[in-house]
């Protein structure tokens, strides 16, 4: 080890057996001061000679660790490389690379890495791993891949850390397709095996790609290799299963996780609650939260916000407020998202804008700044509660505070003004949005097109549709639906069908609303026969009919007189399976005409029949009977197609109420009483079955009518 000359022994300093040189094990403070004062140059070189410091790898590394300027470090590094009997090795190169990375001098860093690879120095797998990690953080993915294979070609066999670094980098930058290729390459390397980090990165990548089977196979492969899946792996897989609607599979995985003694964390519970909430299983989500508390897992604000959002959408405002009140005891600090969620829950629960405004004041008192989303929620809520002027004031306030124009807020206001038939004001607001943003979103265009169509200004709606295409704003399904709805409204059904074909040719996939718009037009212009034909075609397509589809056909049937039509089109009565319904659908009742008329009068007296069902009662007995058969068959088809959500799958839904077997000589009063009991039973099951579907009122009316008629028929009234 080289040392400086001892003080007072100058005369002895020239002896050959004295070693006056030192390395960088303990850098002389005088040398550091010289570097800071003179930077690097001839003075610094002379100082190095005076201090008799030998240039070696340790000295270079120690100098590069100091807090001198990066330019001085680089100059020293270049000077050292020119010294006789000295060559940089991987450790000195890595020391400079780290310095350049810290200073974000990525260009110089990349040149240094290239120089290192070209030099004869030996690069170890650990150094390769660090280079990949540094380049990945600098977003230099392609360069990292290039260097990886260059170093590998120099007989440096990458270890699992190096491969993991590459896999994680590719995954973080969204290059999911390359991750599996690298994994296969890793498996082919001698003595290089995937570990938990590898599997975690791969499973995340496959989940991002939506490759559920591949992700599940990797989990099984982990277990076969005696590796314990981590909490993060379980959480990632559960998130994927929920995303694809496989709720039971996600819950089974959660149970498996607990059975294998893998402790779920707050992120796991957050995904569980989010997934169950999305599936409409609100009570189970709430139970999971309580289970989490019992097991001692500490909640965070994100989890509470998600749970409040789920409860708010389900209309459980009291639970939302209760949960918000528990946040302090749970050591979760409410943030702007928490207040936004509570405010939105008030608007969604129809409690009125007053309570929402009070929460806004609480938010301000706590010093929480309103976000653009807060304003958007308030504007949307006030619009839905017919307080458009208040919403307009908030829009002005939003602009005064410097928030950028929010298309969602403008969309809510334009929609509210359109519903209030203030079309000119809506148009002015639309123009204002275009001027402030330079363009508009397809959703805002769709709202304007919808309202122009509603008020019969189809030409203006069409012009807007063409304008959005010219401005490069690609029409989405909502814009197409808005224009088709306007066309159907004025009887241009053929033109609407042509637009539907154009929509498909342009690569915009229709949704059920698109087909329902056309179905509505067909039902109005062509009657129930054509509507039922289209319904049958929908059943064979990828887009299956929903409650609105069946509503449309049921409504057409209730308004149509089949007295003459059935003579020409008898397929409906002769072939019930043509609608996709059950072949064993209940046959039409065939009592006498007087009995039919009596039943009609009894129904009219005892029930408040909605206007949409009036034609069924008012029509002639024979026609009414035939209509009811068709209505029942169409509705029976709906029961087969519109499956309830999993939580309701155990509920049975009676399409008719059969008569009791042992009913003999029952008087009319007893029969009517029993009928009411059966009616209550029938309608109660309907309420439970339809609860998850939120069927429109018209369907409820038709369903109730069918249930009542079945009840009366069962007792022979």
Pair of tokens at residue 647: 């939580």
Beta pairing partners, 506:
none
Indicate the pLDDT class of residue 607, thresholds 50, 70 and 90. Answer: very low
pLDDT score recorded for residue 352: 65
What pLDDT sits at residue 175? 79
**The tokens of 208 are what?**
């991002």
Average pLDDT rounded to a whole number, residues 184-213: 81
| Coil, strand or helix at 22 | strand
**Which residues lie closer than 8 Å to 526 by C-beta, 6 or more apart?**
493
Q: Which domain holds residue 700?
A: 513-714
CA dist 413 → 374, 392, 435 (Å) = 15, 7, 17
In this structure, the dihedral spanned by the alpha carbons of residues 567, 568, 573 and 574, taken in order and rounded to 10 degrees, is 110
Tell me what pLDDT residue 671 has. Answer: 52
- pLDDT tens for 116-164 read 988 888 888 888 889 988 988 888 888 888 888 888 887 787 888 888 8
Tokens linked to 619: 């029509």
Which residue has better confidence, 607 or 450? 450
Which pLDDT band, with edges at 50, 70 and 90, does 357 fall under?
A: confident
CB 447 within 8 A of CB 480: no
Paired strand residues for 22:
53
Residue 451 belongs to a domain:
no
pLDDT at site 610: 37
| Residue 436 forms part of a structural domain | no
Cα 213 to Cα 442: distance, rounded to the nearest angstrom: 35
- Which pLDDT belongs to residue 613? 40
d(CA 104, CA 98): 10
pLDDT digits (tens, 9 = 90+) for 542-557: 888 887 888 788 777 7
**Token pair belonging to 41:** 């140059």
Place of tokens 């009483």: 673
Q: What are phi and psi of 359, to 5 degrees?
A: -70, -30
Residue 174 is predicted with a pLDDT of 77
Q: Specify the pLDDT at position 58.
A: 84
- Tell me the C-alpha distance between 682 and 707, whole Å: 6
Question: Rounded CA gap, 576 and 569, in Å?
Answer: 13
Q: What is the mean pLDDT of the chain?
A: 75
Q: How far is CA 367 from the centre of its chain?
A: 30
Q: Is residue 101 part of a domain?
A: no
Write down the pLDDT at residue 574.
Answer: 36
In a domain, 270, yes or no: no
pLDDT at 209 over 50: yes
| pLDDT score for 159 | 80
Q: How far apart are CA 553 and CA 239, in angstroms?
A: 39
Q: pLDDT band at residue 658, thresholds of 50, 70 and 90?
A: very low
pLDDT tier at 618, thresholds 50, 70, 90 = very low
Task: Kindly tell me if the per-residue pLDDT of 646 is higher than 70.
Answer: no
- List C-alpha distances in Å: 43 to 24, 49, 465: 19, 10, 74
Helix then strand count (H, E) for the chain reads 37, 0
The pLDDT of residue 514 is: 92
Angle (deg, nearest 10), helices 141-153 and 160-172: 160
Main-chain dihedrals φ then ψ at residue 261, nearest 5 degrees: 60, 30
**C-alpha distances in angstroms, 16 versus 19, 50, 575, 588?**
8, 17, 116, 122
pTM of the model: 0.62
Cα–Cα dist 478/500, whole Å: 12
Tally of domains in the chain: 1
- Average pLDDT value for residue range 651-668: 39
Taking residue 431's Cβ as centre, other Cβ atoms within 10 Å add up to 11
- Higher pLDDT: 677 or 610? It is 677
Instruction: Please report, for residues 48, 59, 292, 578, the alpha-carbon distance to residue 19 in angstroms, rounded to integers and kept in the order given.
Output: 16, 17, 69, 105
As a three-state string, the secondary structure of 436-466 is: HHCCCCHHHHHHHHHHHHHCCCHHHHHHHHH
Angle between helices 317-326 and 336-348 (to 10 degrees): 160
What HEC string does 492-506 produce?
CHHHHHHHHHHHHHC
Query: pLDDT tens, 12-43?
Result: 333 333 333 444 344 556 666 666 665 666 66
Domain presence at residue 590: yes
pLDDT digits (tens, 9 = 90+) for 42-65: 666 776 666 666 778 888 888 888
Of the ranges 19-28, 233-242, 359-368, 553-562, which one carries the lowest mean pLDDT score? 19-28
Nearest to 81 by CA among 102, 60, 66: 60
Beta pairing partners, 53: 22
Instruction: For residues 59 and 26, give the distance between their C-alpha atoms in angstroms, rounded to a whole number.
Output: 9
Per-residue pLDDT for 308 more than 90?
A: yes
Whose CA is closest to 583, among 643, 633, 657, 529?
633
Query: What pLDDT does residue 282 have?
Result: 93
More confident residue, 81 or 267: 267
Residue 517 is assigned to a structural domain of this protein: yes
Tokens 């949704």, located at residue: 511
Q: Residue 585's pLDDT is what?
A: 38
- pLDDT score recorded for residue 31: 66
Instruction: Return the pLDDT at 21.
Output: 42
State the Cα–Cα distance between residues 264 and 295, nearest whole angstrom.
Answer: 10
- Give 66's DSSP letter: S
**Measured distance CA(379)–CA(182) in Å, rounded:** 50
Which of the residue ranges 3-7, 238-242, 630-634 would you say has the lowest mean pLDDT?
3-7
Distance between CA atoms of residues 495 and 478, nearest Å: 17
- CA distance from start to end of the chain: 114
pLDDT, tens only, 252-304: 999 999 999 999 999 999 999 999 999 999 999 999 999 999 999 999 999 99
Is residue 655 very low, low, confident or very high in pLDDT (cuts 50, 70, 90)?
A: very low
Residue 481's contacts (CB-CB under 8 Å, 6 or more residues apart) are: 446, 511, 513, 514, 517
| 463 located within any domain | no
Give the whole-angstrom CA distance, residue 189 versus residue 469. Answer: 53
Cβ 166 vs Cβ 182: under 8 Å:
yes
470-505 pLDDT, tens per residue? 888 888 899 999 999 999 999 999 999 999 999 999
Residue 483 in domain: no
264, burial (CB in 10 Å: exposed 0-12, middle 13-18, buried 19+):
buried
Do 301 and 334 touch, CB atoms closer than 8 A?
yes
Is-contact 706 682, C-beta < 8 A? no
CA-closest candidate to residue 307, choices 331, 284, 333: 284
| In contact, 184 and 192? CB cutoff 8 Å | no
């Amino acid at each position: 080890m080289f040392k400086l000359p001892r003080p007072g022994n100058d005369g002895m300093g020239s002896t050959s057996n004295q070693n006056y040189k030192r390395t960088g094990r303990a850098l002389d403070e005088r040398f550091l001061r010289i570097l800071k004062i003179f930077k690097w140059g001839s003075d610094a070189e002379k100082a190095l000679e005076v201090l008799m410091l030998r240039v070696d790898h340790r000295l270079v590394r120690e100098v590069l660790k100091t807090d001198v300027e990066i330019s001085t470090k680089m100059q020293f590094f270049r000077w050292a490389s020119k010294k006789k009997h000295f060559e940089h090795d991987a450790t000195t190169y890595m020391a400079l690379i780290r310095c350049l990375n810290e200073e974000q001098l990525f260009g110089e860093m990349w040149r240094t890495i290239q120089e290192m690879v070209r030099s004869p120095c030996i690069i170890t797998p650990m150094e390769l791993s660090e280079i990949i990690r540094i380049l990945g953080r600098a977003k230099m993915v392609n360069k990292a891949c290039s260097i990886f294979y260059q170093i590998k070609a120099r007989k440096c066999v990458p270890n699992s850390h190096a491969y993991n670094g590459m896999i994680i980098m590719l995954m973080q930058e969204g290059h999911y397709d390359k991750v599996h290729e690298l994994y296969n390459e890793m498996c082919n390397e001698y003595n290089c095996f995937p570990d938990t980090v590898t599997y975690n990165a791969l499973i995340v990548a496959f989940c991002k790609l939506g490759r559920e089977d591949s992700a599940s196979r990797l989990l099984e492969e982990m277990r076969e290799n005696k590796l314990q899946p981590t909490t993060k792996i379980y959480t990632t897989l559960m998130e994927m299963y929920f995303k694809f609607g496989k709720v039971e599979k996600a819950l089974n995985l959660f149970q498996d996780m607990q059975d294998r003694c893998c402790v779920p964390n707050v992120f796991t519970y957050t995904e569980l609650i989010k997934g169950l909430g999305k599936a409409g299983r609100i009570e189970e989500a709430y139970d999971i939260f309580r289970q989490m508390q019992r097991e001692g897992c500490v909640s965070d604000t994100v989890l509470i916000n998600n749970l409040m959002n789920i409860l708010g959408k389900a209309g459980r405002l009291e639970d939302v407020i209760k949960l918000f009140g528990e946040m302090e005891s749970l050591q979760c600090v409410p943030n702007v998202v928490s207040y936004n969620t509570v405010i939105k829950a008030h608007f969604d629960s129809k409690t009125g804008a007053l309570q929402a405004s009070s929460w806004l004041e609480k938010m301000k008192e706590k010093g929480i700044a309103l976000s653009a989303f807060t304003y958007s929620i308030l504007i949307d809520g006030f619009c839905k509660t017919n307080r458009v002027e208040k919403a307009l004031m908030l829009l002005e306030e939003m602009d005064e505070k410097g928030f950028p124009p929010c298309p969602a807020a403008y969309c809510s206001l334009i929609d509210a003004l359109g519903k209030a038939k203030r079309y000119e004001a809506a148009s002015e607001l639309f123009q204002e949005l275009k001027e402030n943003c330079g363009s508009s979103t397809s959703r805002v265009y769709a709202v304007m097109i919808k309202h122009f169509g509603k008020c019969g200004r189809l030409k203006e709606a069409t012009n807007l549709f063409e304008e959005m295409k010219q401005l490069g704003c690609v029409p989405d399904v909502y814009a197409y639906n808005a224009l088709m709805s306007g066309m159907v409204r004025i009887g241009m059904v053929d033109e609407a069908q042509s637009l539907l074909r154009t929509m498909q040719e342009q690569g915009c996939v229709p949704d059920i609303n698109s087909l329902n718009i056309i179905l509505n037009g067909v039902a109005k212009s062509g009657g129930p026969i054509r509507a039922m034909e289209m319904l049958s075609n929908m059943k064979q397509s990828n887009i299956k009919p929903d409650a609105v589809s069946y509503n449309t056909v049921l409504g057409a049937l209730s308004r149509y007189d089949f007295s003459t039509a059935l003579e020409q089109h008898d397929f409906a009565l002769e072939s019930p399976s043509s609608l996709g319904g059950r072949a064993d659908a209940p046959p039409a009742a065939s009592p006498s005409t007087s009995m039919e008329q009596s039943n009609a009068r009894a129904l009219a007296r005892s029930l408040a029949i909605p206007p949409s069902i009036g034609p069924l009662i008012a029509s002639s007995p024979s026609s009414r009977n035939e209509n009811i058969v068709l209505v029942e068959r169409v509705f029976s088809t709906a029961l087969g197609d519109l499956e309830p959500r999993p939580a309701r799958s155990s509920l049975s839904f009676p399409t008719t109420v059969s008569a009791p077997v042992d009913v003999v000589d029952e008087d009319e009063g007893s029969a009517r009483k029993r009928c009411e009991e059966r009616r209550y039973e029938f309608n109660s099951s309907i309420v439970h079955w339809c609860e998850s579907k939120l069927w429109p009122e018209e369907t409820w009316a038709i369903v109730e009518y069918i249930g009542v008629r079945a009840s009366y028929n069962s007792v022979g009234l």
